């Protein structure tokens, strides 16, 4: 069966303090480890009233202390905001906290609006243009390998050094990320939940066809990150999903806000056009009973030729999110997987 991993975005819930979302993420990581999920990744967004994970490396450090076996990763570090050496140092420290369990997921997108990206790094646009070279340098520093001959920083080392090193992943929703991952011989994750699957087949095809084997990864390794929600029944899953559908509808109007409770939006006066859009969102989303969701994920994995799917789940109530992962783990027999 397909192996399952988790992406959590520390989402805000209406009426709840924002800082609780970070603590909920750390707690959820411990549960997912106990349930048998392979990885637990956290995202990076800035100036976002819904997605509150602004510093994945800090959350990862806390998760590293609270867990013992699950792989911990960033999905991802938006590299144009940062100097490669600093990221390498951060993840060398993380590898010291959780040796051999760290995934360094990289992205090129800003994870924010243009003004916020500029505030984080006034040279972000220029650094984005040098993304492949920065990935190359970061990979060398984080793995303890020499930089290219003649590099101006060739004598610098990212500390602390150790017997293990983080595993670098490239994240993306376009052909570009697939090409960069293939060029450097590193694993690739397609953010299916952002595009609703559009472009994933082409990106995976490009990645596999142009892959250049590396010492650590002699063969291409890919997965996809899918939004999914499991509940005790299809009807209950649809009720819980209404919170995300309502949020997506508001986002399309330019209204970013915390996730609202299903009860709070039950009588919302949708226009006919909005009702149609809600129906479209429900039709394309992956939610339902645990058996149904597990089957759908397996079908996706078989269709894409992958053996791992990363699951992202939003609910208003953290208890419902935890229950979704519990039900999906049982339906997928994660405890029985090697």
Backbone φ and ψ for 75, nearest 5 degrees, come out as -140, 70
Contact 189, 224 (CB under 8 A): yes
Instruction: Provide the mean pLDDT of the chain.
Output: 96
Maximum alpha-carbon separation in the chain: 65
Is the pLDDT at 335 greater than 90? The verdict is: no
Condensed to tens digits (0 to 9), the pLDDT of residues 238-249 reads 999 999 999 999
The pLDDT score that the predictor gives to residue 109 is: 83
Full-prediction pTM beyond 0.85?
A: yes
Task: List Cβ neighbours of 218 (8 Å cut-off, separation of 6 or more).
Answer: none
Sign of the alpha-carbon torsion through 19, 20, 21, 25:
positive
Q: How far apart (Å, rounded) are the C-alpha atoms in residues 299 and 279?
A: 23
**Domain spans in the chain, listed from the N-terminal domain onward:** 3-233+287-336
Condensed to tens digits (0 to 9), the pLDDT of residues 69-86 reads 999 999 989 999 999 999
% pLDDT > 90, the chain: 92
The pLDDT score that the predictor gives to residue 268 is: 95
For residue 128, name the pLDDT band (cuts at 50, 70, 90): confident
SS3 helix, strand, coil % of the chain, rounded to 5?
A: 50, 15, 35
Is the pLDDT at 40 greater than 80? The verdict is: yes
Q: How many residues does the chain have?
A: 338
Helices 56-66 and 18-35, packing angle to 10 deg = 50
The pLDDT score that the predictor gives to residue 54 is: 95
Region 105-121: mean pLDDT is: 87
% pLDDT > 70, the chain: 100
Least reliable range by pLDDT among 45-54, 112-121, 223-232? 112-121
Is the pLDDT at 111 greater than 80? The verdict is: no
Question: What is the bridge-based pairing of β-strands 39-42 and 3-8?
Answer: parallel
For residue 97, name the pLDDT band (cuts at 50, 70, 90): very high
- What is the dotted CATH code of the domain comprising 3-233+287-336? 3.20.20.30
Region 269-276: mean pLDDT is: 95
Q: How far apart (Å, rounded) are the C-alpha atoms in residues 300 and 235?
A: 23
The pLDDT score that the predictor gives to residue 113 is: 84
Residue-wise DSSP of 157-220: --SS--S--PEEEEEESSHHHHHHHHHHT--EEE-HHHHTTTTHHHHHHHHHHT----SS-SS-
């Amino acid at each position: 069966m397909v192996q399952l991993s988790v992406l959590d975005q520390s989402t805000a819930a209406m009426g709840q303090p924002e800082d609780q979302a970070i603590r909920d993420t750390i707690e959820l990581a411990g549960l997912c480890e106990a349930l048998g999920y392979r990885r637990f990744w956290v995202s990076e967004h800035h100036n976002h009233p819904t997605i509150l994970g602004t510093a994945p490396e800090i959350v990862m450090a806390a998760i590293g202390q609270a867990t013992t076996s699950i792989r911990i990763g960033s999905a991802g570090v938006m590299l144009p905001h940062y100097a490669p050496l600093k990221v390498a140092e951060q993840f060398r420290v993380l590898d010291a906290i959780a040796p051999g369990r760290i995934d360094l997921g990289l992205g090129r997108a800003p994870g924010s609006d243009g003004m916020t990206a500029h505030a984080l790094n006034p040279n972000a646009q220029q650094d984005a243009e040098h993304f492949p070279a920065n990935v190359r340098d970061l990979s060398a520093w984080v793995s303890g390998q020499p930089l290219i001959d003649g590099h101006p920083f060739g004598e610098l080392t990212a500390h602390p050094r150790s017997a293990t090193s983080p595993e670098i992943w490239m994240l993306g929703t376009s052909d570009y990320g697939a090409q960069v991952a293939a060029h450097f011989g590193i694993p690739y994750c397609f953010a299916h939940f952002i595009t609703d699957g559009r472009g994933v087949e082409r990106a995976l095809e490009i990645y596999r066809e142009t892959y250049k084997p590396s010492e650590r990864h002699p063969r291409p390794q890919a997965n996809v990150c899918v939004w999914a929600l499991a509940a005790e029944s299809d009807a209950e899953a649809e009720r819980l999903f209404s919170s995300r559908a309502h949020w997506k509808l508001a986002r399309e109007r330019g209204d970013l806000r915390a996730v609202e409770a299903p009860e709070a939006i039950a009588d919302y006066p949708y226009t006919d056009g909005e009702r149609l859009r809600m129906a479209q969102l429900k039709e394309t989303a992956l939610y339902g009973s645990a058996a149904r969701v597990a089957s759908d994920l397996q079908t996706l994995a078989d269709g894409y030729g992958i053996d791992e799917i990363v699951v992202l789940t939003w609910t208003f109530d953290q208890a419902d999110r935890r229950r979704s992962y519990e039900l999906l783990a049982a339906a997928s027999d994660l405890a029985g997987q090697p």
